[in-house]
Structures are given as C-alpha cells and as structure tokens.
Amino acid sequence: MLRDFVMTQKPEQEEIRSLLQIEREKLIANQLKVKDSKLPVMVIFEGWGSSGKGGVIGRVIKNIDPRFFKVRSMDTPTPEERRYPFMHRYFQYIPEAGRFVFFDRCWMEEVISQHMSGNLSKAEYRRRMRSITTTERSLTDNGYLVMKFFLHISKKTQHKRLEALQNDEQNRWRVDEDDLRENENYDEYLEAYGRYLTNTNSPSSPWYIIDATSRKWTELQVLQFLNQGIETALANSAYAHPILQNTFPLKRMPRLADVVLEGKQLDNDEYQERLDELQDELKQLHHEVYRLQIPVIIAYEGWDAAGKGGNIKRITSAMDCRGYEVHPIASPEPHEKARHFLWRFWTRLPKAGHIAIFDRTWYGRVMVERIEGFCTENDWKRAYNEMNEFERELNEWGAVIIKFWVQIDNKTQLERFTDRQETPEKQWKITDEDWRNREKWDAYEQAVDEMILKTSTTFAPWHILESNDKRYARIKALEIVIKALREAVEKVDEG
C-alpha cells in the first residue's frame, strides 16, 4: 500500500494557496456542525520521523475553537503507563461528542517501534494488531469519526531534514536515536509501515497517506480529507452497524429460572467461622497479588436488594485499603455519556497489582440501557461482543476477571423492599425507581439470561451467587475470589 503510493499530484503553489483558503473556511464551518451534531472526531497522525506531524497539527488547529479540541502527544509509554493495558493510555483520551482530539503519534507508532526493535514476539504483534483493529471498529461502530493520516516522505528527504536539524544548534534536540535508525533502515521500516497500513485499512476507518514533502501541500491534503471525512460522517446520524458473530469460547450457563435457591443457606456460627478463615486467606493472597503485579477486576451485578453491597464489604474488609478501590456505578454523568460507553470503565481500571471492584458495571448496556431505551437496539445488540472484546483485552493483559450475578427470587425481593420501606433507618435504601424496576422483572430476567448466555466466556465467566440467604452468597463469593486469585498467583509464580 505504501510502496505503491505515488507522490505526483501536487498542484502549483498558487493553486495550493487558493485551495487552502477554501479548506480552512470549510473546517471553520464544519467544527460548528461537529459540535451541533455531537460528532466525536479522533484524528490520528502517524508517519516518518521529521515528516512534520507536529507542524501540520499546529496549522490545522488554527481553524478550530480551542474549546473544541485537544492535542495528545503520545511518547514511549512511561513505567506508570506500562502498569495498564496497552490500549489504556490511548482510550482515556478519546474525544467526547462534538469535540476533536488530535493524536501526534498513536498506537501504530508504539507497535511498530517495539516490533522493529525486536521487543514483540510474533504472537504479541498479532495480538496488538487485533487490539487496534478491534478498538478502531468499536469506536466507529459507536459513532466516532476516526481519521488516520500517515505522513510520508522519501529516504532522501528524511535524511536531508535530519541533517539540517542536526546542523542547527537550536533544533539538534529534535533528532533522536529512533529517527536516525529509521532513516538508516528506511526500507525495512517502509515494509513494516506498509504492512501495518494494509492490515488496518478498514472501510470504516481507512488510511489517508499524505505526501509530506512540503508544508502547505501537506496541510492542504490533510484539510481536504478531514473536511470530507467530517461531511460524510455528518450525513450518517443513525447508521445501524452489522452485528458481528460472537465467536468467543463460552461456558454453558443455566437460566435464572433454573438456578436453585432453596437450601443454599448457612447458619450464623458456620458462617462466622468460614468468613474468618476465608478473609484471612484473602488477606494473604492480596499481598501476593500486589507483589506479583496481577491486576484484578471484580464485577457485581444483581437484582435490587439482592445484597451486593454487603457482599462487597465482606471482600474489601479483608484487604489493605491501599490496594483496592470500589467503583459504585450509577447512571453516567454528561461527560461520560458523551463518550464510548466503555470509556468510564477503561478509565477506572486498576493498575497491575491492584484490585478494582465494580458495584454495577458495563453490563448496564444490555440491561437498564436496553430496557429503558437509553441506547438503540443496534447498540445493545452489538454490545455483547464489544464487552467480550473488552474483557479479552483485560485477560490478555493478565487480569483476573471475576463477574458475579447476585441472584434472589421475586418473593425475596418483595420482602426486602417491604422491610426497607417499613424500617425507618433503611428507608433511604428504597426509592420509587426500585418499585418501578420491580414491575419490569420479567423483561430484566430475559435480558439477564441473554447477557449471561452471551458473555460467559471461558476467560471471564459469570458466577451466580445464590443470595436468598446473604451469608451463603458472601461465603461463595469469597471462595470464588480466593480460588481465582490463587490460580493466578500460582500461574505467575510458575511462569
């Protein structure tokens, strides 16, 4: 793709000047339309060292109101960033609806530079490529415009530019080892860049190769494609994306109606004894997890009044409070709603060695958002796959993922609701909304069954906690967490 690219279409200087004027004015008009129609625009600049990425971003943003854009310069990941999944430091910066984010280098650069310096095995390279295509597709599927520019210059041009910089005392610092290595091994890099472009050239987020031999001409090409991309995206307000096959390996799970609740109970003495034992054990394991830098994610979903809060407390009270965080998930804030639905979870991930507990999760997409119509049918139908992909990313990063569905029966919920209603110190726990949701029990049960069926992957299956007796559910949760952490610790210790 890159090797065949021909840089011959450059117009005369004067024409470039007059076309630039037209495109700049178009962008000034388009930014307002982007804002009004709440389109999130992610503009990625990749390319050779010294091809002028920073410069062209500087010129493009002159046409955009500073309140509407951010520029993100992505350098080599820091040690802190390395404690998160590969995609984390990029995903946190995705634009919100109606805004632009310009990336000066992005995930391509990171993968290629690691690949070229021999720090990625073939399997890791393939996994990275899959992360990237999956993320780009998930962004465009969720309404993002993703514009990808590769700034291209010849070996000779790059050499000349690097030499000029090195001979200039003020700019010498701009040339680093990587640039020089790139120029020396231009042909190998050309091959690697070209293959990358071909493999990530998707119809929904295609590559635009920019002949970056001169400044104004570079700017013109970028502006033309950017304006055209915005105009095309603005025309597509409600596109329903094809729903991909859920090809993940799945565990077979029971329907909620088939979950036996009777008899799943513990008397108080039995409970207290087991609880003490298990909490001691978990305490020890928490240190191990920290020492081995294993990230842990524990996700809770369940019926209102099923006992999620108390269950979580029995987990956290066994742990060092510096090593875990509980994230109560309510309906999204405006700045969260303005981004990809997984953004508020990406930004709440634990770093390696830490534990994040989610009290309600990303699965809201296929429960409350589905049932209340907060997203389109196409959105929630796509989401099973998107969430499996998200969890696969976490799993491949090395995370332990434990998902709990806290199950009670309809009758038990009614008893607990009534008790809350009638007990003054519990009244804050029950709202009209809880009663309204209760009326939709059947719709929720259907949604939960579908969720458990489609997202119980072998690497992140659901566990059902029978919680008509809360003590039983707490002990079971502790046992599952301990088992999963122990396995992870043993695996890392061996490997």
Site residues, its own copies (CB under 8 A): 1, 4-6, 8-9, 137, 140-141, 202-209, 225, 228-229, 232-233, 235-236, 238-245, 247-250, 252, 378, 381
Considering the complex, state which of residue 252 and residue 322 has its C-beta at the smaller distance from its own copies: 252
Best CA proximity match to 100, nearest among 207, 233, 10: 233
- C-alpha to C-alpha distance for 460 and 358, rounded to whole angstroms: 15
Considering the complex, state which of residue 56 and residue 357 has its C-beta at the smaller distance from its own copies: 56
For 3-73, strand residue ranges (E) read 41-47, 69-73
The least distance separating its own copies from the CB of residue 420, rounded to whole angstroms, comes to 38
For 86, residues 6+ apart whose C-beta sits below 8 A from its C-beta are 107, 110, 128, 131, 393, 397
The least distance separating its own copies from the CB of residue 11, rounded to whole angstroms, comes to 10
For 487, residues 6+ apart whose C-beta sits below 8 A from its C-beta are none
Do residues 89 and 77 lie in contact, with contact meaning Cβ atoms separated by under 8 Å? yes
Considering the complex, state which of residue 7 and residue 261 has its C-beta at the smaller distance from its own copies: 7
The least distance separating its own copies from the CB of residue 279, rounded to whole angstroms, comes to 36
Q: Does an H or E element contain 326, and which?
A: strand 324-328
The least distance separating its own copies from the CB of residue 208, rounded to whole angstroms, comes to 5
Distance of CA 353 to CAs 279, 282, 297, 324, 347, Å?
19, 14, 11, 9, 16
The least distance separating its own copies from the CB of residue 238, rounded to whole angstroms, comes to 8
The least distance separating its own copies from the CB of residue 391, rounded to whole angstroms, comes to 15
Distance of CA 281 to CAs 290, 352, 454, 476, Å?
15, 21, 33, 14
The least distance separating its own copies from the CB of residue 59, rounded to whole angstroms, comes to 20
The least distance separating its own copies from the CB of residue 379, rounded to whole angstroms, comes to 12
The least distance separating its own copies from the CB of residue 465, rounded to whole angstroms, comes to 24
Considering the complex, state which of residue 233 and residue 481 has its C-beta at the smaller distance from its own copies: 233
The least distance separating its own copies from the CB of residue 103, rounded to whole angstroms, comes to 18
Spacing of C-alpha 8 from chain mean position: 39
The least distance separating its own copies from the CB of residue 146, rounded to whole angstroms, comes to 10
Structure-token pair, residue 79: 């040690």
Considering the complex, state which of residue 108 and residue 209 has its C-beta at the smaller distance from its own copies: 209
Q: Sign (positive/negative) of CA torsion 284, 287, 293, 298?
A: positive
Considering the complex, state which of residue 154 and residue 202 has its C-beta at the smaller distance from its own copies: 202
Q: Does an H or E element contain 358, and which?
A: strand 355-359
Considering the complex, state which of residue 231 and residue 490 has its C-beta at the smaller distance from its own copies: 231
Distance of CA 411 to CAs 447, 468, 474, Å?
19, 10, 20
The least distance separating its own copies from the CB of residue 447, rounded to whole angstroms, comes to 17
Considering the complex, state which of residue 132 and residue 465 has its C-beta at the smaller distance from its own copies: 132
- C-alpha to C-alpha distance for 55 and 187, rounded to whole angstroms: 25
Considering the complex, state which of residue 13 and residue 73 has its C-beta at the smaller distance from its own copies: 13
Best CA proximity match to 357, nearest among 405, 299, 309: 299
Do residues 266 and 410 lie in contact, with contact meaning Cβ atoms separated by under 8 Å? no
Structure-token pair, residue 484: 């999963």
Secondary structure of 113-149 in the HEC alphabet?
A: HHHHCCCCCHHHHHHHHHHHHHHHHHHHHCCCEEEEE
Considering the complex, state which of residue 19 and residue 180 has its C-beta at the smaller distance from its own copies: 19
Considering the complex, state which of residue 165 and residue 453 has its C-beta at the smaller distance from its own copies: 453
- C-alpha to C-alpha distance for 185 and 183, rounded to whole angstroms: 5
- Which residue in this structure is represented by tokens 């990358």? 196
Considering the complex, state which of residue 233 and residue 368 has its C-beta at the smaller distance from its own copies: 233
Which burial class, exposed, middle or buried, applies to 7 when counting CB atoms under 10 A from its CB (0-12, 13-18, 19+)? middle
Would you tell me how many other CB atoms lie within 10 Å of the CB of residue 291?
12
